Amino acid sequence: MKIYKFGGASVKDAERIRHLAEIVAMETGPLIVVVSAMGKTTNQLEEFTRMLYPDAPYEDEEYNRLYDQVVSTGELQSTRIVSAYLNHAGIANHWMDITEVLRTDANYRDANVDIAQSRERLQAYLAAHPARVYVTQGFIAGTDEGLRTTLGREGSDYTAALLAYMLDAESVTLWKDVPGVFSADPRKVRDAVLIEDMSYVQAQQLVEKGAQIVHKKTFAPLYEKQIPLYVKPFLHPEERGTRIHG
């Protein structure tokens, strides 16, 4: 099993979704496609929630619970579209509602995943719905009570890593809007170079120094299982990108 993750920029319009299908079509083995909300949808849903409760304090639990119910619809919608398009393009796939399998506590907006329970649910789900390709949501999950939760902004990378961890996947590929991981921010540092190979420890250090390339929770589960992580350019899939490993 391989895990591919596509961020909001990779599904922001019809042209990008067609391109996503070309990338997915190149993979012939078992695959889980993890998708974020389209473009800046999450920001818009966040603003919308704020409009409903302009005075709620940021730490308000009721507000955070509502936030997760609203904001999670971005991923539910984008994955419906991607799944339908892939089927239309001849890539048969199963749409999975990840809120049924990824179990968290009720710490809304930064929920903690119950790995043991989620793994059991995920394996049972995949066995009950056999397919070569699954399309599912990043960033969102669910509680025992059936409410939706989120894992923290930009959390889809982390979802991809968790799925890989739970399934002992062969690799995770994050399809990004950049050529790969650079030694420094290429927008600010002129001699920044693309790093073709790096260790999890180096990657974690870069992220802790403020690099926003990969969500910070992504590395630990992959490191533990020694599952390689590829950061690849969405618009140039033939390029190597960056490989993060042992």
Residue 28 CB, nearest distance to ligand ASP (Å)? 27
150 binds Mg ion (CB under 5 A): no
Report DSSP state, residue 138.
Answer: S
Select 139 or 234, whichever has its Cβ closest to ligand ASP.
Answer: 139
Residue 71 CB, nearest distance to Mg ion (Å)? 11
CA–CA gap between residue 18 and residue 203 (Å, rounded): 31
Contact 233, 241 (CB under 8 A): yes
Residue 246 CB, nearest distance to ligand ASP (Å)? 25
233 binds Mg ion (CB under 5 A): no
159 binds Mg ion (CB under 5 A): no
50 burial (CB, 10 Å; 0-12 / 13-18 / 19+) is middle
Select 40 or 240, whichever has its Cβ closest to ligand ASP.
Answer: 40
Where along the sequence are the contacts to ligand ASP (CB under 6 A)?
Answer: 7-8, 36-37, 42, 74, 138-139, 153-156
8 binds Mg ion (CB under 5 A): yes
Report DSSP state, residue 194.
Answer: B
Residue 216 CB, nearest distance to ligand ASP (Å)? 12
Contact 138, 156 (CB under 8 A): yes
Contact 140, 72 (CB under 8 A): yes
Which position among 24, 33, 34, 36 is part of the footprint of Mg ion (CB under 5 A)? 36
Contact 31, 62 (CB under 8 A): no
Select 156 or 204, whichever has its Cβ closest to ligand ASP.
Answer: 156
Q: Distance between alpha carbon 69 and the CA centroid of its chain, in Å?
A: 18
Contact 136, 93 (CB under 8 A): no
Which stretches of the chain bind Mg ion, using CB under 5 A?
8, 36
